[in-house]
Structure formats: structure tokens, C-alpha cells
Amino acid sequence: DIILLEGDIMEDTIAAISTSLGVGAVSIIRVSGEDAIRVVDKIFDKNILNAQSHTIHYGHIIDNNDVIDEVLVSVMKSPKTFTRENIVEVNCHGGIATTNKVLELILRNGARLALPGEFTKRAFLNGRIDLIEAESVMDLINAKTESSRKMAMSNLSGKVSNMIRELRNKMLDIISNIEVNIDYPEYEDILVVTNDMIEESVSNLKNQLGKILKEAENGKIIKEGIKTLIIGRPNVGKSSILNKLIDEDKAIVTDIEGTTRDIVEGNITIDGILLNIIDTAGVRETSNIVEKIGVDKSLSLINDADLIILVLNNNECLNKDDLMLLESTKNKKRIIFINKCDLESKVSIDEEVVYGNTITNDGLDNLKSKIKELFNIDGIIKSDMNYLSSATHISTLKECLKIVDDILIALENNLTVDMLEIDIKKIWELLGNLIGDSYDEELLDNLFSKFCLGK
């Protein structure tokens, strides 16, 4: 008889299991809201109504006269809590039955089940964290590599938010100067905002946005990994390279041409950066319909990849398939790997390449070094990881950059200051959306619904 309410009324006291559901030593049920302490007090055999904030209490969860579990209850009073509301956490024994029973009792006594991400949403709505920080909470939970953990932590500490806030304040300065000029033209001692001044500020903004966006590429790599495509003609050794890289026999290696028709994937990390490696069907001109589907699929993946490892067979002269692949990957970050170097060389290429032999592992270390160099992995790892990484944030900044360009064009055409103000305000608003100074309910719901329950 659990009643689920729609919507997320902030007055409600909410509860959820915050640990992952399953068998474990301990589970934590978190309760947040005005009534959190009263609700748990009703089912706890110790009185916590007058407990001091940030104290832990040993006791039992009781249902009528039934002892449900032996627990530790933490009481944290508003406002120094994650949600800024009263929070009570019940540490009970792990396992599905006990955890669910305790949650059920809490819900029966006045709390409602939290929506996914609702605790974090409250932390945001109550002003404890901004939107970028809220999203980095999720990134921190989802972090699979050391670098993504570090970046999420850096974002959570507000460094990126401050960067955005600084840009926003600069926009606000211009806006307020323009407004004063328009409203009080008779004041002689105020700063008259000229197009030159706007041009200077907007050009600065353009530079800063460009820099943040450039660095956001690092953020994307840290968060999502480097999408790596191994491509080449059949039988050049693509699967062997993937196998050696991931150090297990995941891809099928045979000497029958056209074996790897399906896409095979593997992951490795290089110095804490994830590489999602895809081994593709060998590319060659073919009349076999099934093989052709594989070939087309391989080619279609090129655009989307961050890195191409183009494999050539040292023992065969370049043919038109090789040349086509060299041509279609020339604008991508790519490494040409010339395999089978134990055999007689028939290939020469006028470009830096990595030579290898996947039977003896020769060249694989060089391949990894080259990847590190191409993506400046050493630099990323040593940096403070102060990068924007969310796709939405990146597209918002790109939108700002577009408006900046519009303003610069308008300035060239000598548009008046008050006309430019509209665009400057728009940038100010967009930057505000990023950190959540202004927000759209629907977007907010969408964002927090991606969180796990209990966070």
C-alpha cells in the first residue's frame, strides 16, 4: 500500500534506498525533508526528535512489536546537509527483504518514494549546488576511470561553474552600462558605452569561449573515451591488433578473407583514458551482398570516430582499396599501422607511420605512444581537469559563440548599442541556463530523471 505521488512537491518528505539493490553487508535508506526526523522516529526504538545534528544513533527499527532490524540512524539537520533539508539515513542490514521492509515502513509513516535524482534536484533547487555541479554528481557516480572521476570531482568543486559565472558577469557589466546610457543619457559622469568597447568585450568573450570549447574536447574524451576505429582491407591484421590491445581473444582471427563481418568491440585504458576500440569488417570492393553490408558499415563509422587506426599489410603493394581508405580518413586523427613487418616490405608511404608485427607484439607500444601523443594524454592527466564535458553544455556554448559572431558582424555594420544589447542579453541568459540561474522545468526534470534512485 505504497502511495506514489506524481510530480515532485518540495514540501514532501522523500525517501529511497541509496545503496544499490542486492545482497550486501549494509544498505542505506535516505530520507529528506521537513518531516524526515519525525518519520524515522516513529519506527525507531530510540527518541531522535531532540537529537543533535550530525549524530549517529544505535537502535532497532520496529513495526508494532516486531523488531525488523538492528540499525544505525544518522540525523543531519537543515541546512548543513546535501539537500539543505533535514536528512536521516538508516544504515540497515543489506539484502533485499530487510531493506525493502524498512523503506516500506518509512513510506507508510509519512514519506513518499523519491523520484530518480530528486535528492540532487533538491540540492540544486535549494541553492546548495548549481546545475553543472549537479550533473557532475551523476558523472562522479558513473565514473569508470580514474581520469573521469577526477574531472567529475573538479566540476563538482565548482571550478567550471566559476568560469561560466565570470563570463556571465562580464556580459552583465556591458548590459548594465548600456542600460544606464539609455535610461540616463543626461548623466555626464557615466561611462558612455561605445561600439568599440562592446567589440573589445565581445572579442574577449569569443576567445574565452573558443578556449573552453577547445578544452571541452578533452572533457569529452575523459568522460566518454576515445572512439577508436580499426580499419583496413581484409586480412591485414585488424583483429590481431584488437586482440593484442585488449589482451584477450575477443575478435575472431582467421586467414579467410572477410571473416570479421560483424563489428567487434573492446575497451582498454591508456593512462586512465578509456579507448573504445571497434574492429570493423575488412574493406574491399566486393559483389557479395552480405560482405558489402559489412564494408559499407565500416566506412560509415569513419565519420563518427575520434581516432582511426588504418592498418596496411607490409607484404602487399597498396591497391585501390588502400588508397580509398587513405583518402577517406585523411582529415581524421589517424595512425597508419603497417603490419606484418616480419615479411618482405612492399609498402612505402610518404607520411609518419607505425610499423608492427602483431604476432610478436612489435609496434604495439609505439602505437600506444602515438595515441598518447595525438590526444595529449600526458597533458590531460597532469592538468587540473577543469573541463566542460556535457554535450548539452558544449552545444549551449557553441550557440553563444554563434551569437558572438552575429554581434561582431553587427558591429562591423555599425548597429547601435541598444540593438546589440538584445544579443548580449541572450548570451547572458544562455550562460545562466548552463549553471541553472534560470532554468526550464521540463529540462530540469529530464536531467534529473537520468539519475539513479536514491541520489
- Chain residues binding ligand GDP by CB under 6 A are 232, 234-240, 253-255, 259-260, 282, 339-340, 342-343, 357-359
Closer CB to ligand GDP, residue 196 or residue 255? 255
Helices (H), 275-390: 289-300, 320-328, 364-374, 377-382
User: Cβ closer to ligand GDP: 166 or 342?
Assistant: 342
Q: Shortest Cβ distance from residue 351 to ligand GDP (Å)?
A: 20
Nearer to ligand GDP, 364 or 401 (CB): 364
> What type of residue is 332?
K
When the beta carbons of 120 and 235 are compared against ligand GDP, the nearer one is 235
CB of 275 to ligand GDP, least distance (A): 18
CA–CA gap between residue 403 and residue 199 (Å, rounded): 13
Q: Measured in whole angstroms, how far is the alpha carbon of residue 263 from the centre of its chain?
A: 25
- State how far the Cα of 278 lies from the Cα of 302, in Å rounded to an integer: 11
Q: What are residue 279's DSSP bridge partners? A: 230, 264
Angle between helices 238-246 and 364-374 (to 10 degrees): 80
Torsion angles phi and psi, residue 354, rounded to 5: -110, 125
Beta strands 334-339; 273-279: pairing state: unpaired
Q: What is the distance between the alpha carbons of residues 439 and 427, in angstroms, rounded to a whole number?
A: 14
CB of 312 to ligand GDP, least distance (A): 10
Q: Is 77 left (phi over 0), alpha (psi -120 to 50) or beta?
A: beta
* Smallest distance, ligand GDP to C-beta of residue 280, A: 9
Residue 254 or 369: the one with the smaller Cβ distance to ligand GDP is 254
User: Quick one: cell of 436?
Assistant: 541553472
- Identify whether the C-beta of residue 270 lies closer than 8 Å to the C-beta of residue 221: no
- In whole angstroms, how close is the CB of 266 to ligand GDP at the nearest point? 13
Sequence-separated (6 or more) residues with CB below 8 Å from residue 15: 29, 30, 31, 32, 39, 103, 106, 107, 111, 112, 113, 114
Look at residues 388, 395, 401 and name the one whose alpha carbon lies nearest to residue 135. Answer: 388
Residue 263 or 403: the one with the smaller Cβ distance to ligand GDP is: 263
Q: Which is nearer to ligand GDP, 218 or 358 (CB)?
A: 358
For residue 278, the minimal CB distance to ligand GDP (Å) is 12
What's the closest the beta carbon of residue 365 comes to ligand GDP, in angstroms? 15
Cβ 251 to ligand GDP, closest distance in Å? 7
- Interacting residues of 59 by C-beta distance below 8 A, sequence separation 6+: 44, 45, 46, 70, 71, 73
Nearer to ligand GDP, 76 or 264 (CB): 264
Q: Shortest gap between Cβ of 303 and ligand GDP (angstroms)?
A: 21
Nearer to ligand GDP, 228 or 239 (CB): 239
Contact residues for 64 (Cβ-Cβ < 8 A; gap 6+): none
